[in-house]
Structure 1
């Protein structure tokens, strides 16, 4: 499989995601600092919370309508929407006029448009790829996302404070470019099959509640989602509990413990080194790992990857030795590189054609839930010892891995196109939706 063999939609979306992701990551991660300085810490936290909530609701609604009316319409609407939002942000953060309050509201609206765009974009990629292509596609996307994050992090740190107006203008222009390319070049051949027949009329469509009841009755998907939540939360503790612990416990620690007068490091610098190590390793090793792992079965690579990932991140919750922390991050990152493309490919195969956006919308809650568990880890970390926290993080990952193992046979069936249980649930939900509207 080569990149040029992908469907045109995939190649375009990978390129556009890199372009827009780089631009967004130069601005959006720094907006909390902006709001904290302009509006105070409370409102800075509120914009994050409201943004998450708005994105979740918009994703659920967008997923439903993407499966009813097609992907391209919603993607285009979202891209036009955030183009205008970023243009207005430039206006209210210009040399002539400034309003942090309007920027606050616009950030919430941007979160809504991102929520609408995500499930439709994911489903569109799955519509045009075969199951055997998806592991390679997700490996490339994972690499590109990390590369854009690395580039944007460095550029944003230098440009955000002095060139915010220009950055918002750039985001608006990129939104315009993305919208034009989506409108002109993206193909959307998806047709919404209701009761086996293409239809988009309200009379023949189940309600949004019936639609998501169908998804929630898919036990394989629910277990996959819960397992993913537990596994993703293992990494999210790095920016929460691990960061807080290192900040408190690592104070002028010798980088080489056997040389006490050598270079010393504190917890904040250590966290920065580990994040940089993770990003650099992903960018450098992604292609190499993909080639190396081809000789092994997906099942073996997946669970060895999970084991390395859990062991590495769990040890970060305990140790204060710089060298061992860097080694643990190496092990965790290698594990992540092993399992992510395979797990994402399974996710792509999990959803039946007629409900891909709905499945992707609900799966998107995994990252919101992992954010919550990461915050909960900070609270528990104030009451428990580091070794006990490390044990709980490891236990969370192991439970997720075991849950994943229990549905592996069903995931393989979905890979081969067998969706009997999911289709049965969909038909029941469809019938219920029609009865409720009659």
Structure 2
């Protein structure tokens, strides 16, 4: 399915979200280092865990709201909320005020509003795209994000240190611009009967209805295993923004990346991380669509299992080297694990979700990321308590356990059919 044949909603979003993502990735990768320096690794890890707890609840509420109040409305409100949070964050890092605490609160709020945005945006794709084309469309959006991951950190490595205030201002204004674009040029796509405002009744009736709806979802054993396996796998790929920048900052010291005659280029921790992150984004942007097409030829079960095992291999490779080229090789393997399921996971969710509950299914499915991101920062204080070697080993074992749960997830329906 070519982009020119897409629904207008998707074309508008592809442009607007790409602009926002590039600005966001100019500073986001460096925030873990910033908070670790300001609060210490122990406290920073625990604070990051605490901030993600709110995102878990916001994510579930976002899925419910997308089904009840509409995809467009939730996306506009979420983008505007992110914009306000970024502007306050800028004030907390301005020439007039330097408050890491206020900055952290704003960082947490950005995560909460993102959790409201995500289920609605994914449900909108499922609303307007036929099932046979969804993997391809999800892959295109994923590619767009990772183009931002390539461009953003490169620009961030140049501007972040000296222009953090200006970058945060730009991020806030662009989020507000996205809200205006979505409000003006997109239409509502939720099924008409699904986004009726809450019925008359007690003030807490909508909450009870939400709990009931999610209860139905979580009684699906296959879907529950999908979420659990995803949470375990997330403990490896979430380290891209958590453990890996801290690891490179601690161990990559003035290493020669390459030499040309008498001229050579050396890298330090933050530069090394920027290179690894850009490598990941570049490979994803280049190969997501082609790898997704390739993976469609194989059984979903085998793809999910192999992806988790590839993550396990990559995280072990990271822990066994401090050499910049060894880290670059580990990142290539890491990215392969990511690409295997880039388009398949969202398509898998949309395939099993009832039309009137798509927002909630996508919200429940994204618990893989929100709960995963809540737990993942524990790796930072773990490096203090048990050291880097054991931390990387534990992460690899969790990825292996994830592959077993994926196998079990597909085995259950097969057993049901046999019986």
Where on the TM-score scale, by shorter chain, does this alignment land: which range? 0.7 to 0.9
Question: Partners of 1:193 and 1:376 in 2: how far apart?
Answer: 42
Q: Which one has more relative contact order, counting CA pairs under 8 Å at least 6 apart?
A: 2
Q: Classify 1:311/1:217 alpha carbon distance in 2 versus 1 (closer, same or farther; 3 Å).
A: same
Secondary structure of the structure 1 residue equivalent to 2:199: coil
Indicate yes or no: 2:344 matched with 1:346: no
Aligned residues of 2:52 and 2:373 also touching (Cα < 8 A): no
Q: Higher mean Cα deviation, 173-182 or 23-32? A: 23-32
Question: Partners of 1:211 and 1:171 in 2: how far apart?
Answer: 35
Indicate yes or no: 2:7 matched with 1:7: yes
Aligned to 1:139: 139
Aligned residues of 2:308 and 2:402 also touching (Cα < 8 A): no
Aligned to 1:311: 313
- 5 Å-filtered alignment, 1:80-99, equals 80-87=80-87, 97-98=96-97
Indicate yes or no: 2:203 matched with 1:201: no
Q: Classify 1:213/1:10 alpha carbon distance in 2 versus 1 (closer, same or farther; 3 Å).
A: same
Q: Higher mean Cα deviation, 274-283 or 386-395? A: 386-395
Indicate yes or no: 2:236 matched with 1:234: yes
Report how far residue 279 of structure 1 moved: 2.8
What is the root-mean-square deviation in Å for CA atoms of aligned residues?
4.1
* CA deviation map 1:247-272 (0-9, x unaligned): 7777788989xxxxx99988777655
Aligned residues of 2:230 and 2:402 also touching (Cα < 8 A): yes
Secondary structure of the structure 2 residue equivalent to 1:207: helix
Aligned to 1:282: 284
Question: Partners of 1:31 and 1:51 in 2: how far apart?
Answer: 14
Q: Normalised by the size of structure 1, how large is the TM-score?
A: 0.75
Q: Higher mean Cα deviation, 138-147 or 376-385? A: 376-385
Q: Classify 1:355/1:389 alpha carbon distance in 2 versus 1 (closer, same or farther; 3 Å).
A: same
* CA deviation map 1:53-83 (0-9, x unaligned): 3322322222222211211122222223333
Report how far residue 346 of structure 1 moved: 1.0
Question: Partners of 1:117 and 1:231 in 2: how far apart?
Answer: 23
Aligned to 2:53: 53
Report how far residue 3 of structure 1 moved: 2.0
Instruction: Pick one of 355, 358, 368 that aligns with 1:356.
Output: 358
Aligned to 2:175: 175
Report how far residue 401 of structure 1 moved: 1.8
Report how far residue 384 of structure 1 moved: 6.1
Aligned residues of 1:192 and 1:354 also touching (Cα < 8 A): no
Aligned residues of 1:232 and 1:367 also touching (Cα < 8 A): yes
Report how far residue 217 of structure 1 moved: 1.7
Report how far residue 314 of structure 1 moved: 2.9
Aligned to 1:219: 221
- 5 Å-filtered alignment, 1:11-410, equals 11-31=11-31, 48-49=48-49, 51-87=51-87, 97-98=96-97, 100=99, 105-191=105-191, 193=193, 200-202=198-200, 207-237=209-239, 273-290=275-292, 293=295, 300-319=302-321, 324-378=326-380, 392-408=394-410
Aligned residues of 1:238 and 1:313 also touching (Cα < 8 A): no
- 5+ residue gaps, structure 2: 259-263, 415-419
Question: Partners of 2:98 and 2:389 in 1: how far apart?
Answer: 47
Aligned to 1:421: none
Report how far residue 405 of structure 1 moved: 2.6
Q: Higher mean Cα deviation, 57-66 or 25-34? A: 25-34
Question: Partners of 1:340 and 1:8 in 2: how far apart?
Answer: 23
Aligned residues of 2:148 and 2:281 also touching (Cα < 8 A): no
Aligned residues of 2:55 and 2:112 also touching (Cα < 8 A): yes
Aligned residues of 1:349 and 1:411 also touching (Cα < 8 A): no
Report how far residue 335 of structure 1 moved: 3.0
Question: Partners of 2:282 and 2:65 in 1: how far apart?
Answer: 38
Q: Higher mean Cα deviation, 76-85 or 211-220? A: 76-85
Q: Classify 1:202/1:152 alpha carbon distance in 2 versus 1 (closer, same or farther; 3 Å).
A: farther
Report how far residue 145 of structure 1 moved: 1.0
Question: Partners of 2:265 and 2:87 in 1: how far apart?
Answer: 47
Aligned to 1:432: none
Q: Classify 1:79/1:198 alpha carbon distance in 2 versus 1 (closer, same or farther; 3 Å).
A: closer
| Corresponding residue pairs, total | 403
- 5+ residue gaps, structure 1: 257-261, 413-438
* CA deviation map 1:175-194 (0-9, x unaligned): 33312221222121323647
Q: Classify 1:150/1:340 alpha carbon distance in 2 versus 1 (closer, same or farther; 3 Å).
A: same
